[in-house]
Amino acid sequence: MTQPNTDAPLAGRHIAVLLGGPSSEREVSLVSGRECADALERLGARVTRVDPGKDVAQVLTRVAPDLVFNALHGEWGEDGCVQGVLETLKLPYTHSGVLASALAMDKAKAKAVLAAAGVTVPGGGLFSRHDVARDHVMQPPYVVKPNAEGSSVGVFIVLEGANRPPVELSAPTWTYGEEVMVEPYVRGLELAVAVLGESNGPRALAVTDIRSSTGFYDYDAKYSEGGSIHVLPAPIPDSVRDRAMRMAELGHTALGCQGVTRSDFRYDDINDLLVLLEVNTQPGMTPTSLAPEQADHVGISFDQLVLWIVEDAYARCSAGGIA
């Protein structure tokens, strides 16, 4: 990676940062957006912070930035919808485009693409949430998750010997879709790999071993102070590290991702089974987030990472594509 060689490499640039938004991951996005906006200002850019609503197209037309830094997470901001708006407005933007964003957000479709590319993924499939709430659709232990949510929102682990399935799925307050993904539970380590989609091919940065203080890497474990411990580099055999990094790079390419992604894995060290759970097209950029930690581990500061993300988006625009 080329390191910035001036004190204000983004001087003269006007960048709109999308943060917050309407999804269940709004609070995380507000923190990610704040951190990135602050970094962009340190890098010399003029920054306009935009908490998008239904009038986002009108707001961005009025603001007229020369690039949009998308710091949204979850539904609408990460699933191809806002990317489509930005394409229509012909505004260059960071991270992955419409198709890759939509594909990665749909767990069932993403798993099919990843498996076809040779990536090891969990089994399972989509089921009606009411059927899953009524009876075990597979032998425990298994995991139930929304098909199109991030940050472990709405996830249930049904352990071996459980007498009942997660009846909460049939509640009228459930808002995460009528179909849910049910997968076999893979015991072992929770691993993560960040990838930079560089021009000469994706580059995996490192492997982090995530140890949750609650026993499950859920929303609170991901974003609450003290919710989890990140062991970097992960204390795993070199062969497993290399496998995880290759699979993360392959997953990034197979889904057509751009910019920075983060792949989440489970590693069963007893059976030497490594499975890729999902690829996140817009990883968190909070003080506890994995991608910035891994970048720092390999010598890329937070500001340098933000600069790389922006320069990557500008370069793709100059090469003939909006994003």
Beta strands in 45-108 (DSSP E): 46-50, 67-70
238 by Cβ neighbours in 10 Å (0-12 / 13-18 / 19+) ranks as exposed
Cα gap 125→215, rounded to integer Å? 25
Cα gap 268→4, rounded to integer Å? 40
Q: Write out the two tokens for 206.
A: 């490192």
Helix (H, G, I), strand (E, B) or coil at 193: strand
DSSP characters over 97-140: -HHHHHHHHSHHHHHHHHHHTT------EEEEHHHHHHS-SSPS
Which pLDDT does position 15 carry in this prediction? 98
Owner of token pair 């000469």: 200
Beta bridge partners of 265: 191, 276
Element of type H or E holding 32: helix 26-42
Helices 302-318 and 26-42, axial angle in degrees (round to 10): 90
Nearest Cα neighbor of 28 from 155, 153, 176 is 153
Instruction: Give φ, ψ of 305 to 5 degrees.
Output: -65, -45
Report whether the peptide linkage leading into residue 237 is cis, meaning its omega lies within 30 degrees of zero.
no
Given the DSSP bridges, would you call strands 14-18 and 46-50 parallel, antiparallel or unpaired? parallel
Which pLDDT does position 150 carry in this prediction? 60
Helix (H, G, I), strand (E, B) or coil at 53: coil
CB 180, CB 153: distance < 8 Å: no
List the catalytic residues.
25, 151, 223, 262, 264, 278, 280, 284
Q: Which CATH class, in words, describes the domain spanning 125-184? A: alpha beta
Q: Which residues contact 161 (CB under 8 A, 6 or more apart)?
A: 140
Output the CA angle 27-219-110, nearest 5 degrees. 100
Residues of the chain with pLDDT under 70: 1-6, 150-152, 214-227, 318-323
Cα gap 323→310, rounded to integer Å? 11
Which pLDDT does position 149 carry in this prediction? 73
Cα gap 96→103, rounded to integer Å? 11
**What does each C-alpha distance from 144 to 24, 62, 153, 179, 318 come to in angstroms?**
18, 43, 11, 10, 42
What predicted TM-score, i.e. pTM, was given to this entire model? 0.89
Residue type (1 letter), 291 = A
Helix (H, G, I), strand (E, B) or coil at 79: coil
The 8-class DSSP code of residue 190 comes to E
Which pLDDT does position 304 carry in this prediction? 97
Q: Could you give the residue range(s) of every CATH 3.30.1490 domain in the chain?
A: 125-184
**What does each C-alpha distance from 160 to 14, 58, 138, 184, 214 come to in angstroms?**
54, 52, 11, 11, 18
Q: Write out the two tokens for 237.
A: 């055999």
Q: Could you give the residue range(s) of every CATH 3.30.470.20 domain in the chain?
A: 103-120+187-297
Q: Where are the alpha helices (DSSP H) in 257-301?
A: 290-297
Q: Write out the two tokens for 42.
A: 């340190």
Is the domain defined by 103-120+187-297 classed in CATH 3.30.565.10?
no
